[in-house]
Amino acid sequence: MCGIVGYLGKRQAAPVLIEGLYQLEYRGYDSVGIAVFDGKKLRVVKKTGLVREIETARQAVGRVGIGHTRWATHGDVTVENAHPHTYGNIALVHNGIVENAAKLREECEERGEAFYSDTDSEVIAHLIAAEYHGDLLEAVIRACGKIVGSYAVAVFCEDEPERLVCARMRSPLIVGRAKEGLVVASDIPAAAEEGAVLYSLEDGEFASLSGDEIFICNAAKSKIKKEPIEFSEEGRADLGAYRHFMRKEIDEIPVVLRDSREEIARNFCFSDFCKVLCQTEYIQIVACGTAYHSGLCFQAALERVCRVPADVFIASEYRYMDPIVRKGTLLIAISQSGETADTLAAVRLAKRRGAHIAAVVNVKYSSLARLADTVLFTQAGREVAVAATKSFNAQLMVLYLIVAAMASIKGKRSPTLKGFESKAARAIAAGEAVQSWVPYFAGAKSAYFIGRGEDMCVALEGSLKLKEISYLPSEGYAAGELKHGTLALIEPYTPVVAVLMRRDIAEKTMNAVHEAYSRGASVFLVTCFEEYCGGKEITASVLLPKCPPVFSPILSVIPLQLLAYYTSLARGNDPDKPRNLAKSVTVE
Ligand code: AGP
């Protein structure tokens, strides 16, 4: 996923573009670039690395321009592959994937056109240049008609320097009035300011921005009237007194739990959703990454509390497995961004096969929120760090509220969700103790997280957190499964974290702890049972407040989020911007 910005208006464009790119850096930071028209020529500055690498371009003169921050999909991380891409009188920035790029490029090369990059995006500049006969909007519409895949583009033409043209297909794009001019952005934070009026383009829509006019249309150039999107100023994130967004966002978990619970209580019509739940015979859950792990926790609770069958699918698997969608299937998609391509594709497939779609999503104007039949919003606020933390806890709160609603329909008793905000605050305070664990992890060759039932789901999430921001090989594992092979990897001092929040299987999990300990592992414990913290096989532990075991992942994940954060720091990484990753993966 990448971030694109565009500006034309009364201000100098370069600072507006650069500030916007800082707000979009969470979408990718392999390379960055801007192009500003100085009245005669288009000045392009492109660098690999973070947005700060182009601070020198802030002085560029000109009131119209485009900018881009890249997460590499096609083509290595090089300056040549950085956007903006140009050909002839055309310059553009692109977010998405051109699936037929090779064929289109071949056609261009057969016409004698030369390429300087190995990206799919550069092909789009050639397509537009070939279709340009004095009307940029017409040229962009025609060029996009040849593309198979996804795109959000902002296009500039030196022959029409007072104009920007945009197009959207399965990659988010916003246009509007702000910053004393007209703006284009992949996401609200790059355009949000007091008094801004912003519109979200839908798939297949185009926009022409010039002077003070925004013309939005379809491929037939029929004008489309749009309502402005609502957004709040806090869409622009700031660090406050924190070093990193990730640490700040972990501290926000208690408030996020409260807000998510209150949002559902205040604004969600459970009675309508209960009608759906009453007709539900079977639940399918689809998600990716951390959201997939919250789906696993949800399934465990649904089956244990409500005795309702449910299956969880990795979205990128679901969409290619020819899924069986029987009558009475409810598909619940979980996504922080609401823009994950694999999750959206799985939802579209299930919808075509007749499933009722419910979405648990954090971003109000996202594609998933618009696609679903029923939407339950988490109130995690903007999550800037690439590693999901507070959004995971917020998803669990909303999913467990569904469990409670389903339980009452099925005549089952659900444990209470009251008091989790204060318990989470205590878990954060207790979790700070993991800083003493870091020396065992920072220099380790690998690390293992084990648990049973819900504790295993949390072990999987703890492992993903550690991997994605500390780059330490790690595995989350069913505690009972360790002895069936993976135990061979345990060596003296290998760090193993056991999650133990259920008394009825505590001794069983401790069996796995003993197995690892007797092979020399350094074992760490996250538990609410004090009696297990002092054993000789435990190097260190975090004692959490007691809570209903089936809902315990809301708390037991917190020390693991903190462990990943502090280990990442110890290994010299930037926890907010881990290598190779992006906040939302809007490509397949
Ligand atoms: C989480 O730490 C990861 N950054 C990643 O796995 C993420 O959860 C996944 O890409 C799904 O994103 P979504 O929730 O926005 O759909």
Type of residue found at 193: E
Q: Is the pTM of this model over 0.75?
A: yes
| Count of CA atoms in the C-beta half-sphere (13 A) of 251 | 11
411 backbone φψ class: left, alpha, beta (φ>0; ψ -120 to 50): left
pLDDT in tens, 192-222: 888 899 999 999 999 999 999 999 999 999 9
CB of 378 closer than 6 angstroms to any ligand 1 atom: no
Of 328, 14, 30, nearest to 181 (Cα)? Answer: 14
Q: What residues contact 432, with CB distance under 8 A and at least 6 apart?
A: 562
Share of the chain above pLDDT 70, in %: 99
Summarize pLDDT for 243-264 with one digit per residue, the tens: 899 999 999 999 999 999 999 9
2 counts as catalytic? yes
H-helix segments, 48-202: 101-110, 121-131, 136-144
> Do the beta carbons of residue 92 and residue 121 sit within 8 Å?
yes
Query: In a 10 Å sphere around its CB, with 0-12 CB exposed, 13-18 middle and 19+ buried, how is residue 281 labelled?
Result: exposed
Which residue CA neighbors atom 2 of ligand 1 most closely? 387
Please name which of 190, 200, 173 lies closest in space to residue 237, comparing C-alpha atoms: 190
Integer angstrom CA distances of residue 310 from 39, 189, 283, 351, 556: 61, 37, 5, 17, 23
Nearest ligand 1 atom to alpha carbon 387: 2
Q: At what angle do helices 121-131 and 101-110 cross, to 10 degrees?
A: 50
Q: Is the CB of 286 under 6 A from ligand 1?
A: no
Confidence band for 232, pLDDT divided at 50, 70 and 90: low
Q: Tokens in use for 37?
A: 């028209």
The residue whose CA has the least distance to atom 16 of ligand 1 is 335
Regarding the beta carbon of 290 and ligand 1, being less than 6 Å apart is answered yes
For a mutational test of ligand 1's pocket, the pick from 286, 318, 336, i.e. the residue with the most ligand atoms closer than 8 A to its C-beta, is 336
Length of the chain counted residue by residue: 588
Strand 522-527 and strand 538-543: pairing?
parallel
CB burial string 60-72: b at 16+ within 10 A, e below: bebbbbbbbbbbb
pLDDT tier at 491, thresholds 50, 70, 90: very high
**434 phi/psi in degrees, rounded to 5:** -65, -15
CA of residue 1 to ligand 1 center, whole Å: 12
The confidence score (pLDDT) of residue 1 equals: 74
Ligand 1 centroid to Cα of residue 290, in Å, is 5
Contact 45, 51 (CB under 8 A): no
Ligand 1 neighbourhood includes 1 CB (under 6 angstroms): no
- Tell me how far CA of residue 261 lies from CA of 273, 297, 376, 428, in angstroms: 16, 17, 11, 19
Choosing from 179, 248, 577, 583, which is the catalytic residue?
A: 583
The interaxial angle of helices 289-301 and 390-409, nearest 10 deg, is 30
Q: Is the CB of 336 under 6 A from ligand 1?
A: yes
- The pLDDT mean for the chain works out to 94
Q: What percent of the chain has pLDDT over 90?
A: 84
Kindly give the distance from the C-alpha atom of residue 320 to the centroid of ligand 1, in angstroms, as a whole number.
20
Contact 585 CB / ligand 1 (< 6 Å): yes
Ligand 1 center to 285 CA (angstroms): 15
Domains of the chain: 3-235 (3.60.20.10), 243-418 (3.40.50.10490), 431-571 (3.40.50.10490)
pLDDT range class, residue 271, cuts 50, 70, 90: confident
Beta strands in 273-365 (DSSP E): 282-287, 310-314, 329-335, 356-361
